[in-house]
Structure 1
Amino acid sequence: MTEYQHDRRMKKHMKRQKNNSDISQIESCGNDLIELTKEQVKAALTSLFIIQKQNRTVGSRKRRRDKNLDRSLETQTKKQKQIYSNIILSDITQAETIVLAASGLNKKQMKQVKKFVLIFNCHLLLLDEKTTFNQSITHLITDEIDTNDSLVCTLTKNVVFAIVQHCFVLSYRWIIECLQQNSIVNEEQYEIEGDNIFSTKHNGPRRSRLSKRPLMPLNHFMMIKGDSRHFLDFTNSELGDLAWLAGSIYIEQNRFPNTVFSRQCFLLIEDADVRNKNMFHRCIDKGLKFLRSEWLIRSIVEYRMANIVQYHCDPFDTIDRSE
């Protein structure tokens, strides 16, 4: 063995011993537990991460609490959009609760109505196909056709129901005047006097409100028939409600009952729904009056019995209207 080979073998042996000693040191370190103090742990973490300390003043904490409070209020109110700000509530106490409904108003006008409700602590009933006019409503707010304080409104179903139930039917200007004065002003000078179909000055709403009495006599029996839409797009059931609210006896069956007192029987039907000419004339001979639904609606709107002659249902053009 040469000297070179001997030196090379010795170096390999020494290197092997060194590696074994390193492994034994690692194993011995792994078996020992190293305990660190809290200060050492904090110092180690500080060296690894940059801790940014937030200096919160009293004002910032207050703003944070207010922000959390606003969020909780939004959650309670289902995050409704805030419409009005700086509203001063009126301290006026009403003798009775005002329940409003609207007819023919645009979005801007409805916004003012909602503001009125908030200020004067009233109620607003939004009417749609599922929510019909009911007896809890005290004031119906309507549009006004002309700008010169005409007190003439667009005739709608809600207007008809409001009149038959003796409610205030008021121009939208009443809402504006109350908001300007921050007080509930007298309603009478804003009460609707006419409509865009029958008459511009019949004073039906006031006549109904002041009388508080049913329009129809008790001996008036009324039946509603037909598949067609009636005047103002009323349905059969809605006309039946109107007939009952107006004071007549509403008959849902197909036959008028016998009575010991004299009676008048009315069948509200449109011309297109009368098809049996012989039956039509036999009923007329027995005293049954075939009338178009417009007769009932006009009687309610003007709150006086309309002349039945011009509203006779006569699809066969055989009735003399010269009475």
Structure 2
Amino acid sequence: MLDKITQRDRQQIKKSTTHQKKKLDYSQINTCDKIIELTNEQVHAALISLITIDKQNRTVASRKRRRNKSIENVNKKHKQIYHEIILSNTNQPETIVLATSALNTQQMKQIKKFVLLFNCRLLLLDDKTIFNHTITHLITDEIGQNDSLICTLTKNVVCAIAQHCFILSYRWIIECLKQNTIINEEQYEIEGDNIISTKHNGPRRSRLSKRPLLPLNHFIMIKGDNRHFLDFTNTELGDIAWLAGGIYIEQNRFPNTVFPRQCFLLIEDEDIRNKNMFHRCIDKGLKFLRSEWLIRSIVEYRMANIVQYHCDPFDTIDRSE
């Protein structure tokens, strides 16, 4: 066994090893078969270096263990998927993820009460987060009296229909709180809206079909500087085109395919300024449609009439000439 090394011995060993490094003759070490004689100072220096390396390894391992333990504690303390999701007791199974549309402050208080009581999640949507694929129920307002089941049409409602979610009246929340249990949703499912139609049953049709609305051969390009129907931006409109099953094209050219394709350019009339280019594209089979065509098709969950939403800003000019 080695004797205990004092601080003074360590300093002397350090000085001697530094001096020894300068005078070390590597020519004396030819092969591993020969015996290499080491001085006492060199032995002490080698042992000290081994002790130092062992301490460093143990220090790194302990740091990793402490870091992993702290991460686990943080995850247990703040267990949530999204930074804006309000969670209740995380020990119970989670099945319902809620989002809201056009609700007032008092109604939102009841929503949070529902979340805490039935161990659900609430995703608070903002301008940057229109919708999320984890949401199962969209709770919206109800316009009119006598259980009309007509809601205010918003971007969130459109996205929820495209993703086959339950679109429910706020009355469902109230009845669940009254009965202290989660009741059947179907009798509270929204049937219409205040813009497209008061009774189109698009939410139910989408939820039951579970199939994309647009065929696979529908290629959609979106252009224009102006806001589209319901104040959708180009990017947001492209997202719901993907959700509806269409192929969203971000480039300025539609790809060639071996199968027949339908090419649509969603644009508003005021954004079409080049008359010659417009007619050349029409001759090649490109269809210019207002964005309302896509949104109406999703809301009703059936293909809207293309002719009704065809863009032709030069039609009135040509007739006047």
Task: Work out whether the TM-score is over 0.5.
Answer: yes
Q: Counterparts of 2:130 and 2:228 in 1: how far apart (Å)? A: 18
- Stretches of 4+ moved more than 6 A in 1? none
* Alignment equivalent of 2:148, drawn from 147, 150, 156: 150
What is the Cα deviation at residue 318 of structure 1?
Answer: 6.1
Q: Distance in 2 between matches of 1:103 and 1:285?
A: 42
Q: Alignment partner of 1:214: what SS?
A: coil
User: Separation in 2 of the partners of 1:213 and 1:117?
Assistant: 29
Q: Identify which of 267, 280, 283 aligns with 2:281.
A: 283
Structure 1 distance, partners of 2:316, 2:258, is 32
Percentage identity across paired residues of the two chains = 84
- Tell me, in whole angstroms, the C-alpha distance in 2 between the residues paired with 1:99 and 1:137: 5
Name the structure 1 match of 2:260: 262
Q: Equivalent of 1:171, from 169, 172, 183?
A: 169
Name the CA distance, whole Å, in 2 between partners of 1:178 and 1:193.
20
Task: Please name the residue that 1:300 is paired with.
Answer: 298
**Correspondence 1:183-194 to 2 at 5 A:** 183-194=181-192
Matches within 5 A, 1:108-127: 108-127=106-125
Alignment of 1:1-323 (within 5 A): 97-317=95-315
Query: Which deviations, in whole Å up to 9, do the C-alpha atoms of 1:230-269 show, x marking residues without a partner?
Result: 0000000000001111001110000001111100000000
SS in 2 for 1:221: strand
| Alpha-carbon distance, 1:132 to partner | 2.7
Gaps of 5+ in 1: 1-75, 78-88
Q: CA deviation at 1:131?
A: 2.6
Separation in 2, partners of 1:303, 1:280: 29
- Deviation of 1:129 after TM superposition, in Å, equals 1.6
Alignment partner of 1:232: what SS? Answer: helix
Q: Tell me the CA shift for residue 161 of structure 1.
A: 0.3
SS in structure 2 at match of 1:299: helix
Max Rg structure: 1
The unaligned stretches of length 5 or more in structure 2 are: 1-76, 79-87
1: CA distance, partners of 2:163 / 2:294: 15
1:47-90 CA distance string (max 9 Å, x none):
xxxxxxxxxxxxxxxxxxxxxxxxxxxxx99xxxxxxxxxxx99
For the 8 Å contact 2:130–2:155, the answer to whether it is kept is: no
CA distance in 1, matches of 2:174, 2:312: 47
Alpha-carbon RMSD? 2.0
Q: TM-score, normalised by structure 2?
A: 0.70
Pairs aligned (count): 231
Q: Provide, for residues 8-65 of structure 1, a one-character-per-residue CA deviation record: whole Å limited to 9, x for no partner.
A: xxxxxxxxxxxxxxxxxxxxxxxxxxxxxxxxxxxxxxxxxxxxxxxxxxxxxxxxxx
Could you tell me how far apart the structure 2 residues matched to 1:206 and 1:215 are? 13
1:67-118 deviation digits (Å, cap 9, x = unpaired): xxxxxxxxx99xxxxxxxxxxx99xx76x51000000000011110010001
- The CA distance in 1 between the partners of 2:313 and 2:147, in whole Å, is 41
Shift of 1:148: 1.2
Deviation at 1:155, TM superposition (A): 0.1
Q: How far apart, CA to CA, are the structure 2 residues paired with 1:132 and 1:270?
A: 22
* Other structure's SS at 2:265 match: strand
* Structure 1 position 317, deviation (Å): 1.9
For 1:290, what is the secondary structure of its paired residue? strand
Per the alignment, in what secondary structure is the counterpart of residue 124 of structure 1? Answer: strand
CA displacement 1:272-294 (0-9 Å, x = unmatched):
10000011011011110000000
What amino acid is the match of 1:244?
A: W
Q: Amino acid of the residue matched to residue 161 of structure 1?
A: C
Deviations 1:120-165 (A, max 9, x none): 0100000012333110000000000012100000000000000000
Structure 2 counterpart SS, 1:162: helix
- The 2-side partners of 1:317 and 1:124 are apart by 49
Indicate if the aligned counterparts of 2:218 and 2:262 stay in contact, CA closer than 8 A: yes
How far apart in 1 are the matches of 2:315 and 2:208?
40
Aligned-partner Cα distance in 1 for 2:152–2:199: 13
